[in-house]
């Protein structure tokens, strides 16, 4: 409580002097130190005090374990290319917190971020004066996003959940136009449950009465649970099975496929990623679009062009020549990641930079990596903060499974520079953490900027 009081006194003092962007970001970063997750009703109270900004536009709500960010990216691009003024609310950010709030793929400015933060903070302080708790980090960002999207007068928001669904702050949006659930697998078990059905039940918590839900039906158990939840809510449930999308061609930069279901009659499409899992994500987004737009006001041509032109950083992204970044950070994500790596390894040597968070099943991830692919070399590194696993501990696990050279470097960017310098003719894959991917993307952007200025 003392720390909370000090932070609030500092914020009040800064506000009197003209609180700036850095102050706002610092304040938000300190929130996890003095509060905990609240009941959804607390977020509703805050939205109520701000005039329910989330009711000012249509919302497509997306949940899932893996792929939800990519599904959001596909959907947002389709809607924007069709002429809609789109908002995108996503997490986590890779480089800057502003990435979480975008209108027509332009991030919120530092000035707008600060102004919106101060408006929401004033409402928070009034709530606290009435005895209600301070919102969490994600709850605060969610409400800030809703306020900004209302200010910008968007037509439709594509909104990604933070964690789970049922108790997620985003689920306080009472009247979404459509719900979408991407692939479900074992992750965040300490919060969501230790079975697929339990996790699926949390994700299916985004389903609202009568609102259609389009869902990835790759996992039979998860699909069955979502179907049950949709029926109980009187919501049309539309499954998307992997066999609906048949891959026809691959390159090192894209995959062609044919989609056939009740909305697309053997339509040929392309995803601008080399990862098979993006085909299912695209099929899910394309199907969701048709459920949202049953009269086909958005023509197939626009849908296909938008899908083929979608960009989403850190998801099997060729970020520089010979360097691919992928945010795979759980066992299922790594398995999908390795499908692409195995295919590329058939024609090119491959190397790996890897890290993981302590709350992930990283021993299983490492075992899977070593049994599926033989890399030229492996470099391990570590994250900052309490979730870090020591780089040397990760290296020791790799060495227990493989005889290829494994080195450990605690500093993330030093590890990346070492791996990039050693890669030779190999493709360097960087995986295991979106936070690491974000640091590397930032480094590559700085390198490119410095090169252009030289």
What pLDDT does 454 receive?
66
**Same domain membership, residue 88 and residue 48:** yes
What was the pLDDT predicted at 433? Answer: 92
**By the 8 A CB rule, do 320 and 444 touch?**
yes
Same domain, 273 and 359: no
Q: How many helices (H) and strands (E) does the chain have?
A: 16, 17
Which of the residues in the chain have pLDDT under 70?
A: 1-17, 186-194, 454
Domain that holds residue 94: 2-308
CATH number (domain holding residue 203): 3.40.1190.10
Quote the CA–CA distance of 53 and 174 in Å, as a whole number.
12
Specify the number of domains making up the chain: 2
Backbone φ, ψ for residue 59 (5° rounding): -135, 135
Q: Answer yes or no: do 425 and 339 share one domain.
A: yes
100/117 same-domain check: yes
CATH of the domain at 357: 3.90.190.20
pLDDT of residue 185: 80
Both 324 and 299 in one domain: the answer is: no
pLDDT value of position 188:
47
What was the pLDDT predicted at 165?
85
Which of 275, 308, 341 delimits the end of a domain?
308
- Contact between residue 290 and residue 314 where contact means Cβ atoms under 8 Å apart: no
Residues 121 and 195 in one domain: yes
- Residue 299 and residue 327 share a domain: no
In DSSP terms, 107 is beta-bridged to: 102
Residues 15, 88 share a domain: yes
Do 279 and 377 sit in the same domain of this protein? no
Same domain, 202 and 275: yes
Q: Look at residues 308, 337, 363 and tell me which one is the last residue of a structural domain.
A: 308
pLDDT digits (tens, 9 = 90+) for 374-417: 999 999 999 888 889 999 999 999 999 999 999 999 999 999 99
User: CA 240 to CA 64: how far, in whole Å?
Assistant: 14
Last residue of a domain, one of 257, 288, 308: 308
Between CA 260 and CA 232 the distance in angstroms is 28
User: What stretches of 99-170 adopt beta strand conformation (E)?
Assistant: 101-103, 106-107, 156-160
Indicate the burial class of 152 (C-beta count within 10 angstroms; 0-12, 13-18, 19 or more). Answer: middle
- What order do you get walking across the sheet with 427-431 strand by strand? 317-320, 323-325, 427-431, 350-354, 378-380, 406-408
Q: Considering Cα of 145, then 146, then 152, then 154, what sign does the dihedral take?
A: positive
Same-domain status, 196 and 240 = yes
108, 65: one domain: yes
In angstroms, the CA 435 to CA 336 distance is 19
List all residues 6 or more positions away from 425 whose beta carbon is below 8 Å from its beta carbon: 348, 349
- Residue 192 has what pLDDT? 61
């Amino acid at each position: 409580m003392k720390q909370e009081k000090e932070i609030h006194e500092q914020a009040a003092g800064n506000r009197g002097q003209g609180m700036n962007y850095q102050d706002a970001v610092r304040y938000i970063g300190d929130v996890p130190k003095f509060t905990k997750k609240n009941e959804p009703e607390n977020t509703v109270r805050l939205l109520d005090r701000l005039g329910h900004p989330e009711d000012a536009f249509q919302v497509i709500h997306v949940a899932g374990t893996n792929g939800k960010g990519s599904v959001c990216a596909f959907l947002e691009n389709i809607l924007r290319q069709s002429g809609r003024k789109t908002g995108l609310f996503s997490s986590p950010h890779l480089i800057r917190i502003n990435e979480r709030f975008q209108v027509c793929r332009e991030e919120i400015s530092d000035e707008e971020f600060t102004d919106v933060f101060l408006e929401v903070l004033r409402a928070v302080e009034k709530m606290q004066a009435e005895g209600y708790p301070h919102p969490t980090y994600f709850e605060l960002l969610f409400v800030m996003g809703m306020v900004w999207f209302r200010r910008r007068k968007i037509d439709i928001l594509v909104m990604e959940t933070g964690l789970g669904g049922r108790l997620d702050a985003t689920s306080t949006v009472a009247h979404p136009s459509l719900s979408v659930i991407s692939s479900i697998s074992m992750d965040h078990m300490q919060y969501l449950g230790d079975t697929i059905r339990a996790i699926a039940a949390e994700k299916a918590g985004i389903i609202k009465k009568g609102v259609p839900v389009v869902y990835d039906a790759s996992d039979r158990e998860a699909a069955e649970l979502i179907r049950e939840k949709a029926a109980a809510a009187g919501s049309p449930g539309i499954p998307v099975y992997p066999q609906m999308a048949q891959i026809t061609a691959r390159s090192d930069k894209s995959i062609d496929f044919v989609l056939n279901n009740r909305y697309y009659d053997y339509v040929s499409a392309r995803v601008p990623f080399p990862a098979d899992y993006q085909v299912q994500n695209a099929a899910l987004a394309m199907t969701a679009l048709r459920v949202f737009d049953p009269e086909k006001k958005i023509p197939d041509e626009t849908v296909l062009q938008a899908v083929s032109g979608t960009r989403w950083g850190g998801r099997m992204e060729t970020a520089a020549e010979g360097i691919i970044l992928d945010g795979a950070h759980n066992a299922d994500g790594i398995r999908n990641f390795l499908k692409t790596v195995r295919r590329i390894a058939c024609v090119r040597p491959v190397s790996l930079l890897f890290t993981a968070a302590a709350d992930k099943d990283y021993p299983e991830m490492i075992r899977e990596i070593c049994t599926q692919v033989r890399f030229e070399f492996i470099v391990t590194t570590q994250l900052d903060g309490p979730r870090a696993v020591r780089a040397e501990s990760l290296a020791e696990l790799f060495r227990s499974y493989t005889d290829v050279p494994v080195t450990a470097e605690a500093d993330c960017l030093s590890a990346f520079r070492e791996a990039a310098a050693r890669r030779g003719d190999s493709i360097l894959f960087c995986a295991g953490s979106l936070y690491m991917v974000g640091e590397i993307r930032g480094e590559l952007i700085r390198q490119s900027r410095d090169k252009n200025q030289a």
